[in-house]
Amino acid sequence: TQLKINRRSLTAYLLGEHGDSSMIPWSHVTVAGKPIDELLAEKPDVYHMDSKDEILRKVHEEGTWENSMKGCTEFGVSSATAELRAIYHDEHKILPCSVYLDGPYGIKDSFASVPVKIGKDGVEDIIELHLTDEENEEFQKSIKVLKEHFERALKL
């Protein structure tokens, strides 16, 4: 019941790791190109939603619930993989993908999910969103979690 707008009419990204440290750059969430905060402020009687923290908590919980109930999240992964038809059809489509970052977002030597342009040669460009200071802090925390996971995996 969030907003009562079809989800396909929203543009939003989840950045960072694929897990509980992922973050939503709310300054880039839009409805028909209008920032969500503007829409909510202009028409609070028509459009309202849970707090941003609550929405992010629900996003994190949904993945955990899906995994605990079914033991996997293959449908989410399958639908995301199906979007990669953009490679075969050379669509130049913007999709969130985990890519190697060595400069964008101020990240060095790490992989993270960010918006990228996909075409016949794979990742054609990394789209760097200009994050607010708070968003950047949350994104950096997620990168730190990713690096910690990687370091633990190297020790196995």
Question: Which residue numbers are catalytic?
Answer: 18
DSSP assigned state of 70: H
CB 114 within 8 A of CB 127: yes
Nearest to 95 by CA among 72, 73, 64, 127: 127
* Token pair of 59 as six digits: 């996003």
Q: What is the helix (H) or strand (E) element at residue 34, kind and residue range?
A: strand 34-35
CA atoms of 113 and 100, how far apart (whole Å):
9
Q: What angle do CA 9, 126, 16 make, to 5 degrees?
A: 75
